[in-house]
Amino acid sequence: MSQRPEIRQILEAYRPIWALDHATALFSWDRETYMPADSAKSRGSAQGLLASMRQQRVVALTEIVSKAEKLEGLNDFDRGVVRNLKRELKYFTKVPPELVEELQRVRTEATVVWREAKKKSDFSLFQPHLEKIVELKRKEAEKLGYEGHPYNALMDLYEEGLTTLDVDRIFPLLVSNLKRILHHIMSSKSFPTNHVLENVPYDEESMRRVNQEVLRLLDMPEKTFRMDVSSHPFSINLSMDDARITTTYEGRNFKETIFSVIHECGHALYTLQIDPSMDYTPLAGAPSAGLDESQSRFLENFLGRSSPFTNLLYPVLKKNLPFISEYSEDDIYRYFNLVRPSPTREADEVTYNFHIFLRYELEKKLLSGEVEVSDLPTIWDDMMDEYVGVRPKNMAEGVLQDVHWSWGHFGYFPTYTLGNVIAATVFNRMKRALDFQDVIRRGDMGPIKMWLKENIHKWGATYSPKELQTKALGDVYNPEYLVRYLEEKYQT
Amino acid sequence: MSQRPEIRQILEAYRPIWALDHATALFSWDRETYMPADSAKSRGSAQGLLASMRQQRVVALTEIVSKAEKLEGLNDFDRGVVRNLKRELKYFTKVPPELVEELQRVRTEATVVWREAKKKSDFSLFQPHLEKIVELKRKEAEKLGYEGHPYNALMDLYEEGLTTLDVDRIFPLLVSNLKRILHHIMSSKSFPTNHVLENVPYDEESMRRVNQEVLRLLDMPEKTFRMDVSSHPFSINLSMDDARITTTYEGRNFKETIFSVIHECGHALYTLQIDPSMDYTPLAGAPSAGLDESQSRFLENFLGRSSPFTNLLYPVLKKNLPFISEYSEDDIYRYFNLVRPSPTREADEVTYNFHIFLRYELEKKLLSGEVEVSDLPTIWDDMMDEYVGVRPKNMAEGVLQDVHWSWGHFGYFPTYTLGNVIAATVFNRMKRALDFQDVIRRGDMGPIKMWLKENIHKWGATYSPKELQTKALGDVYNPEYLVRYLEEKYQT
């Protein structure tokens, strides 16, 4: 907590903003879990009204934040408060409300059209909407201002300070090495590309029990955390003492629901382990989408898909899913870790990053005008062929596969790969401090959670993502650890 | 919708207030249903912050509401908006914030102590807290101002314009007649005082299916309504398109959960049938606690405990609860309608109002100083003996049985009997317009719901409770219909 009166004044004024965020988070959670189907209209109105109350209150902080920024001798906490609020204020100050409203309107419409276009596998329906969105995103980037590439302005909204220089340093090294690793796996057939367990149906009640056991294995708290069901898995933090996740039960391919649970628990854990002094402040969250994602990827891949965790999970699976008795622990491990070049963004650890690279390249070039929206379907398929080695059989599984562009999310995709890159760096650092395999083998998540808390979580958004990585990991967006981890895992 | 610019300006400014109410309602619903146990602290903070934002926004309307009040030629809608806001403003203007805060603090403490006192059946623990509450409620009444009895100021908070003159006209007639009816039932043994079904355990899953069928029989909408489980049943309206109820499964005495569902559906239906033009306005609710309660009591008692509804329910019970096969429809009807003089406020239609009368008398006399808190246990037991004909065997089932006083709810109890009185008036009026028994027999709730909508629900809070009764029922708080209904039902 700050001793400076200016910062205290800011934090006092921030409490209602926090309360509005708390309410908005509960709105979202409820909408995806329990809200009656036809209550969307009034929920939408309430959400919009809360958003504008929030914006008014943030904008009212302009003067005091500017004043606080000029103070000398601020500590890290104070500087973090000022930095985060300045970022929020920048958006509200620089992007005119008419542009924000137009974006909102175009997105709402585009999302509906995208759904239809995907169903019909017809890009031409979506094209004019996407063209409008790209035009508005260019305007947004101009208004926000940037150095270098206009895409920097958009990436910065999700990952403070991230530039194309950073990302163009990450992908070439990653892509060339992943190509080599993928080639090795494919030719050595050391890991399968398909598994019979993908098609085995499961009983939902039994699977719910398995997921409860997964929570127990991860030692998730019972009184500040909960899990529900929704049509897409997500995590949301209402407060530092109220983190919620959801999962989905598709009825077959049981690893999907398990890994969504482990993934979302990574996000929840971040929230739950932030230092209590940051409660009710702008610091009560991750500093960026990439860092937030690094924690979910760490839990999902580095911990969840490891062989000791598979072994820990095996008796739980065997007890609850009768068909498991036909498979060994090693079968399950291979099912969890199959590598499959696929035209759609799926969750294997090797090919995933090709999909992100492709999207990054296209977004960047759409922004700069090097690529036209009308060229997307062809370029998409060609790049997919070049990097992943498969051609989508139609536009639904090609350029129309993601919802993100219809939402106007440009600059967000790269943070998925940043998440993987940072997670691998965490893995590398953590192994110096503790015997990772052995700790999992003993089923004791305490030391892992403590390491994450002490090095990353407890700081909340005190530091920028680059500062936090330097401080906690000694390395900033360095893809070498991810390459090394995958080399070891897939024995290349 | 209003054509007057002043009213439109008020309604525009009211929309964020409505949104804050929507959020607060969701907070309450979530707290009682799904919120993790240890998230109460931050939820409490968020709720307090939203409440003070709300109050600021209501108080900011003072001037424009005063201006609108002086306009000539306002229509009913406009006058309703002004009337409701003036009531809210009156409280904020007249009761000093220090008193509100002190009440809040004392109540929070008193609720904890009351729980302990009830557990130990020791009134002396609770006595000093109740003395403090009575003192503060006297102050509150003085600040609010009143004509006649100070209790009028407090009853008005729940039931606009209700005075002791009104209530003192209702109870004598009701109490003397109910005594006679009770005496007849007891001596003729026409209805049982106990029933073996009260002790038969049920399976919760089966009971949930029964309650789903109850919702279907009541024709509750599927897309704007939902039912969950909580430790005490309640209903809450988030919006006019989002009404939610809860029930409780105690594991035996299955009528409890069924009648809680029917009761809460009565409240939900009110919300769902208000005219859409009142959405987002101060009119989007019942005009008083008594009118709101009249709808839940109407559904619970007049419809739910009727013999045609019992017959409608019988096959559902038989299908889902194996033990029902030993009982006839008439057995179930008698189980639903047993009359038992009991020291605790239970749900039979005859004795219930004695319990309310007792509480009304005591609250009134506590306020005026005719009764001291220290005298309560003795007076309570004596009155219980006089009116209900039983003596509580200890303070837990005597003076300590209700939580309401620890919450500082003084003036609320009478609205329970007003609910019964108005419900009987509704029943009388409705029977002139439709063949009630026959409509239920056919399982068609449409005409009943339509009658309630057209005569009561659609008006929301446009009219004061007395105005609405005059307009819709032609009679204001007239207990004769309740007496007549009970005479017929219990064949006296």
Closest-CA distance, B225 to chain A, in angstroms, reads 6
Is the model's pLDDT at B2 over the cut of 80? no
Strands ordered across the beta sheet of B225-229: B225-229, B242-247, B235-239
Does the residue B74 lie in any domain?
yes
> Does the residue B78 lie in any domain?
yes
Task: List, as ranges, residues 38-57 from B with C-beta within 8 Å of A.
Answer: 38-39, 41-43, 45-46, 49-50, 52-53
Taking the Cβ of residue B197 and every Cβ of chain A, the question of whether any pair is shorter than 8 Å is answered with no
Chain A partners within 8 Å of B16 (Cβ): 49-50, 52-53
Instruction: Please check the confidence at residue A189 and state whether its pLDDT lies above 90.
Output: no
Same domain, A82 and A183: no
- Residues B296 and B266 sit within 8 Å (Cβ to Cβ): yes
DSSP reduced 3-state for B210: helix
Give the number of A-B residue pairs with CB atoms closer than 8 Å: 119
Picking from A121, A142, A163, the residue at the C-terminal end of a domain is A142
The CATH number of the domain where A306 resides is what? 1.10.1370.30
pLDDT tens digits for range A236-267: 999 999 999 999 999 999 999 999 999 999 99
A18 and A163 assigned to the same domain: no
* Contact partners, residue B203, CB within 8 Å, separation at least 6: B321
What confidence score (pLDDT) does residue A346 get? 79
DSSP assignment of B389-448 equals: S---SSSTTTTTS-STTTTT--S-THHHHHHHHHHHHHHHHHHHHS-HHHHHHTT--HHH
From chain B, the residues in CB contact with A280 under 8 A are 42, 45
> Does the pLDDT value for residue A191 go beyond 90?
no
Both B212 and B302 in one domain: the answer is yes
Is position B264 annotated as part of the catalytic site?
yes
Structure pTM?
A: 0.95
Q: Could A50 and B23 be called an inter-chain contact, meaning their C-beta atoms sit closer than 8 Å?
A: yes
Say if strands B242-247 and B225-229 run parallel, antiparallel, or are unpaired.
parallel
Flag whether pLDDT at A203 surpasses 70: yes
Mark whether A439 and A406 lie in a shared domain. Answer: yes
Q: Does A403 fall in a domain?
A: yes
Q: How confident is the model at residue A2 (pLDDT cuts 50, 70, 90)?
A: confident
**Helices A414-433, A352-368: inter-axial angle, 10-degree rounding:** 140
Mean pLDDT of the region B337-359: 92
Q: Which of B264, B300, B361, B467 is catalytic?
A: B264
pLDDT single digits (tens) A330-360: 999 999 999 999 999 876 999 999 999 999 9
Q: How many domains does chain B have?
A: 2
Compute the average pLDDT of residues A281-303. 98
Q: Does A205 touch chain B (CB under 8 A)?
A: no
Residue with tokens 């995806």: A32
In a domain, A249, yes or no: no
Helix (H) or strand (E) holding A245: strand A242-247
pLDDT at A404 over 90: yes
| Section A66-85 average pLDDT | 97
pLDDT over threshold 80, residue A468: yes
B295 domain-assigned: yes
Expressed as residue numbers, the domain containing A49 is: 5-142
Q: Does residue A335 lie within any of the structural domains? A: yes
Q: Are residues B88 and B129 in the same domain?
A: no
pLDDT for B1: 63
Whole-number pLDDT of residue A163: 98
Q: Are B284 and B146 contained in the same domain?
A: yes
* In the predicted structure, residue A1 carries a pLDDT above the cut 80: no
Q: What is the mean pLDDT of chain A?
A: 96
Single-letter amino acid code for the residue at A248? T
Catalytic residues of A: 264
Q: B238 touching A, CB under 8 A?
A: yes
Average pLDDT over residues B262-269: 98
Boundary-marking domain end, from A114, A142, A170? A142
Please state, rounded to an integer, the average pLDDT across all residues of chain B. Answer: 96
A321 and A188 housed in the same domain: yes
DSSP, res B94: H
Cβ within 8 Å of residue A300, ≥6 positions away = A259, A262, A263, A266, A347
Q: Does residue A154 come out as left (phi exceeding 0), alpha (psi in the -120 to 50 range) or beta?
A: alpha
Per residue in B81-117, pLDDT (tens digit) is 999 999 999 999 999 999 999 999 999 899 999 999 9
Q: Does the CB of B276 have a partner CB in chain A at under 8 Å?
A: no
Distance from CA of B108 to the nearest CA of A (A): 21
Give the closest-approach CA distance of A243 to chain B in angstroms.
9
Average pLDDT of span B386-403? 94
CA of A41 vs chain B CAs: smallest distance (Å): 8
Asked if A276 has any chain B CB less than 8 Å from its own CB, the reply is no
- Both A150 and A274 in one domain: the answer is yes
**Claim to verify: residue A135 and residue A54 sit in the same structural domain:** yes
To the nearest 10°, report the CA torsion of A319, A324, A325, A327.
-140
Of the candidates A38, A224, A279, the beta carbon closest to that of B223 is on A38
Question: From the list A43, A46, A241, which residue is nearest B39 (CB)?
Answer: A241
Q: Which residue among B23, B45, B241 places its CB closest to the CB of A39?
A: B241
Which structure tokens are listed for A422?
């940072």
Last residue of some domain: B94, B115, B148?
A: B94
| Structural domain includes residue A232 | no
ipTM above 0.90? Answer: yes
pLDDT value at B238 more than 80: yes
CB A38 within 8 A of CB B34: no
Same domain, B455 and B404: yes
Whether B79 and B223 map to the same domain: the answer is: no
Question: Looking at the predicted structure, is the pLDDT value of residue B17 above 70?
Answer: yes
Is there a domain that residue A230 lies in? Answer: no
- Nearest neighbour of B50 by CB, restricted to A19, A45, A241: A19
Which one of A37, A53, A228 has the shortest CB-CB distance to B223?
A: A37
Q: State how far residue A438 is from chain B, nearest Cα, in angstroms.
A: 32
User: Are A313 and A406 part of one and the same domain?
Assistant: yes
